[in-house]
Amino acid sequence: MGRIVLLASLFLAAVPLGCGSPNTSSPTSPSPASPTTGTIAGTITIDLEGTPVVAGAFVIATDEAGHWNSYASSDVSGDFILPDLLPKTYTVCSSWGSCYAGYRTASVVVAETTHVDIKLQCTKAYVSDKDGNTFIMEITHVTPSYRGISTLSLTKAPSDTLERIIWDSILISPYSLEIRQVAQIIMMGEPRSYAYPGYYDVFYFYPITVVSVLGLSEQWYWQGEVLSGYRNSDSGIRTHVDAPLGALTVIRFIHE
């Protein structure tokens, strides 16, 4: 399996739309200006039965010309608001860690709120640990991860000098073609650890074998400590889980 390079996304700051000038013709009783914009609002959850709403998810509205018109993060209730949007049709997308939502279309009407509820989807995998347990996890984050919490940060050669490391990455999103090439990850032993004064306290690099869906395999080092996500409990309730990489043996991805 060849080297897999993740193209990083640049998150450009959107410029807020300007407000109309106040009516100064009658200083003692100004006339209110007519509204010229509308709002998109909704709630973000993960597409799992019984899973709580998602706080801190990134949401963005893009117009038909591809311009970023508004962006926001969901609050502790999973709610988001994209205000001050001109009346037109927008594409709304959202992400949280390695979980993403397909594009939704929303039409904005002046002085009204268009409701768009979003369900994020996460990559699924059978996760086996050293205690002999196997469970299905919906992966949300890898932490800490040098290339981002939504990626597998990989290298062929860990080093005690951070600047010498050549990195590769696999995006864990269910929409990623990269992760769909991976059948399983086999943990191969104890990690190497390096401290980088002035950057990070300690990074752990776990030796792994990456097996492709074609049966090809390649050796890597996986930088990280914890695989986070949701799993089914024995009672059928979905619960959050943080699985230390050192406690795992095999991660077999489910490609639907």
Asked if 253 and 178 touch (Cβ cutoff 8 Å), the reply is no
Give domain status of residue 219, yes or no. yes
Q: Are 113 and 229 part of one and the same domain?
A: no
Q: What's the CATH code of the domain at 71?
A: 2.60.40.10
Give the pLDDT confidence score for residue 9 in this predicted structure: 34
Q: Are 212 and 93 part of one and the same domain?
A: no
Cα–Cα nearest to 233, from 241, 224, 225? 241
Give the pLDDT confidence score for residue 6 in this predicted structure: 33
| Of 120, 149, 175, the domain-final residue | 120
Give the pLDDT confidence score for residue 26 in this predicted structure: 39
**The token pair that represents 59 in the structure block:** 């949401």
For the chain, how big is the Rg over CA atoms in Å?
Answer: 22
Give domain status of residue 10, yes or no. no
Cα–Cα nearest to 38, from 106, 91, 118? 106
Round to whole Å and give the CA distance between 148 and 37.
Answer: 35
Give domain status of residue 100, yes or no. yes
**Cα–Cα distance list, 74 to 57, 66, 145 (Å):** 5, 22, 23
Q: Are 158 and 250 part of one and the same domain?
A: yes
Q: Give the helix ranges, DSSP H, for 5-60.
A: none
Give domain status of residue 195, yes or no. yes
Round to whole Å and give the CA distance between 129 and 138.
Answer: 16
Residue 34: phi, psi to the nearest 5? -70, 140
Q: Are 89 and 158 part of one and the same domain?
A: no
Give the pLDDT confidence score for residue 5 in this predicted structure: 35
Residue with tokens 């709610």: 79
Q: Are 47 and 127 part of one and the same domain?
A: no
Longest dimension (CA), the chain: 78
Q: Are 149 and 47 part of one and the same domain?
A: no
| Of 63, 98, 120, the domain-final residue | 120
Give the pLDDT confidence score for residue 223 in this predicted structure: 98
Q: What pLDDT tens digit does each residue of the chain (256 aa) get? A: 444 333 333 233 332 322 233 333 334 444 467 889 999 999 999 877 656 789 999 999 999 888 878 999 999 999 999 999 999 999 999 999 999 998 899 999 999 999 999 999 999 999 999 999 999 999 999 999 999 999 999 999 999 999 999 999 999 999 899 999 999 999 999 999 999 988 888 999 999 999 999 999 999 999 999 999 998 766 767 788 999 999 999 999 999 8
Cα–Cα nearest to 137, from 151, 123, 150, 148? 123
Give the pLDDT confidence score for residue 32 in this predicted structure: 60
Give domain status of residue 17, yes or no. no
What three-state secondary structure class fits 70?
A: strand
SS3 track for 26-56: CCCCCCCCCCCCEEEEEEEEECCCCCCECCC
Q: Are 90 and 202 part of one and the same domain?
A: no
Give the pLDDT confidence score for residue 68 in this predicted structure: 79
Give the pLDDT confidence score for residue 50 in this predicted structure: 57
| Of 120, 136, 161, the domain-final residue | 120
Number of domains in the chain: 2
Give domain status of residue 33, yes or no. no
Give domain status of residue 230, yes or no. yes
Round to whole Å and give the CA distance between 11 and 95.
Answer: 12
Q: Which domain holds residue 68?
A: 38-120
Q: Are 83 and 133 part of one and the same domain?
A: no
Give domain status of residue 96, yes or no. yes
Q: Are 140 and 96 part of one and the same domain?
A: no
Q: Are 128 and 227 part of one and the same domain?
A: yes
Give the pLDDT confidence score for residue 201 in this predicted structure: 87
Round to whole Å and give the CA distance between 124 and 185.
Answer: 13
Round to whole Å and give the CA distance between 202 and 158.
Answer: 12
> How far from chain centre, in Å, is Cα 49?
19
Q: Are 169 and 221 part of one and the same domain?
A: yes
Q: Are 158 and 97 part of one and the same domain?
A: no
